[in-house]
Amino acid sequence: MTSTGGHARCLLGGTFDRLHDGHKDLLRAGLEAAAHLEVHITTDQMALAKDHRIQPVEDRMAAVEDALRSIRETGWSLHMLEDAFGPAPRHPTADALVVSPETRTGGEAINRKRAEGGFEPLVLIEVQHRTNDEGTILSSTAIRNGHMDTTGGAWIASEWREHDMAMSPAAEAHLKTPSGTPYPGPEDHPEVAMAAVLDDLSTLDGPLIAVGDVTAKVMLSMDVVPNLALIDGQTKRVALNDEDTVDLTAFPLRRDATSPAGVLTPNLLAQLEDSLRADVPCVLVVDGEEDMAPLYLHLLAPLGAIIVFGMPRQGLMVQRTTLDMKERCRTILNAFEVR
């Protein structure tokens, strides 16, 4: 690809967290506009002041570099952006600046500074936002909050809200490959594994979710109230004795859902969605089984959420919500049978 825009040097600045299709539109516009595109990427100090979940600058720069190379191999360079304006107000050879509707006012401020310094104004090349089918703007914030993927697509398929999803041989094959970090511990003393889990989770980037009665009860016994607990009154499909049940009074909010064994229901999905939006710790009591709920939970949760559940005779498994985990869960759910 070669430039067709007639500019010599175009500037583009941003955070570029979780590089998405909107970012790629900005990069392509800059490459089309000028013989050379300078991309200035915010430092970790700037980015983390905005949101502590933003990726390290090395990861963000690598993603931008890959996107640029997919368009053309030369005619661009990467730089660190250490303040809101970067070099743009006094750049001696730049003649264009890529902006979005959101950042256009920043571009106009840069041109005022250039005029004060005796520099020619930059031509502002405005690139419209990407929106999804619902008209929502594709953004890194929405991706971090778990609302959409990097194309703007919804993580939750509309048919899952209307139909029961039943386990299939294909889905079961996916689930046989474990995903997450195991924490071994004796089955009779689950607090051993839980202590190790909690030690590693001294800082959290998202909600803490306990799936299973034993997991929730042990967490509570260690003075940790999860943001969300899913329980069904059973362990290994056997009803718990009264003394082994979870203390529901530890949670300010209770919700109830129905989801038979081997099935994920629209009712469960709706209750999970509402529970994750709650401002206080919530317990969701499931009539049926809750063991497949993490598939929906990861798709609903913000990046950085932590899901903890028991592994029979092995200890605990900890899964963190990431884009890769969301993709895995979507792939597995697409293999379920729609009823």
Residue in the structure block whose two tokens are 């001294």: 202
The b/e string for 177-211 (b: 16+ C-beta within 10 A; e otherwise) is eeebeebebeeeebebbbebbbeeeeeebbbbbbb
> What's the pLDDT at 133?
77
Cβ count near 241 (within 10 Å): 8
Residue in the structure block whose two tokens are 């999970």: 272
**Euclidean distance between CA atoms 163 and 104, whole angstroms:** 44
Q: 236: pLDDT confidence band, cut at 50, 70 and 90?
A: low
Torsion angles phi and psi, residue 84, rounded to 5 = -65, -30
CA distances from 336 to 159, 287, 307 (A): 12, 21, 22
**Euclidean distance between CA atoms 198 and 194, whole angstroms:** 6
Q: Is the pLDDT of residue 20 over 70?
A: yes
> What's the pLDDT at 242?
76
Q: Is the pLDDT of residue 11 over 50?
A: yes
> What's the pLDDT at 135?
87
Bridging pattern class, strands 228-231 and 253-259: unpaired
Q: Is the pLDDT of residue 2 over 60?
A: no
**Euclidean distance between CA atoms 197 and 336, whole angstroms:** 31
| Residue 9 region by backbone torsions, left for phi larger than 0, else alpha for psi between -120 and 50, else beta | beta
Closest alpha carbon to 78 in 36, 128, 23, 127: 36
CB proximity list for 283: less than 8 A, separation 6 or greater: 216, 228, 229, 230, 231, 246, 248, 250, 251, 253, 254, 255
Q: Is the pLDDT of residue 56 over 50?
A: yes
Which pair of structure tokens corresponds to residue 225? Answer: 């109230």
Mean pLDDT estimate for the chain:
94
Q: Is the pLDDT of residue 24 over 80?
A: yes
> What's the pLDDT at 203?
75
CATH topology of domain 7-144: Rossmann fold (3.40.50)
Question: Once rounded to an integer, what is the mean pLDDT over residues 195-214?
Answer: 91
> What's the pLDDT at 4?
58
Closest alpha carbon to 12 in 31, 138, 56: 31
162-171, 173-182, 228-237: which is most confident:
162-171
Q: Quick one: how far is CA 19 from the chain centroid? A: 12
CA distances from 160 to 5, 151, 172, 307, 337 (A): 46, 20, 18, 21, 10
Q: Is the pLDDT of residue 234 over 80?
A: no
> What's the pLDDT at 205?
81
Sequence-ordered strand ranges (E) for the chain: 7-14, 34-42, 76-81, 96-99, 123-126, 165-166, 181-184, 208-211, 228-231, 234-235, 238-239, 253-259, 263-264, 282-288, 306-311, 315-320, 337-338
Question: Once rounded to an integer, what is the mean pLDDT over residues 280-294?
Answer: 95
Higher confidence at residue 236 or residue 14?
A: 14
> What's the pLDDT at 1?
43
> What's the pLDDT at 240?
73
| Residue range(s) of every CATH 3.40.50.620 domain in the chain | 7-144
| Residue 65 region by backbone torsions, left for phi larger than 0, else alpha for psi between -120 and 50, else beta | alpha
CB proximity list for 180: less than 8 A, separation 6 or greater: 317, 318, 319, 320
Q: What Rg do the C-alpha atoms of the chain give, in angstroms?
A: 24
Question: Once rounded to an integer, what is the mean pLDDT over residues 240-264?
Answer: 91
pTM for the structure as a whole: 0.91
- Looking at the DSSP bridge assignments, the partners of residue 311 are 315
Q: Are 12 and 99 in contact (CB under 8 A)?
A: no
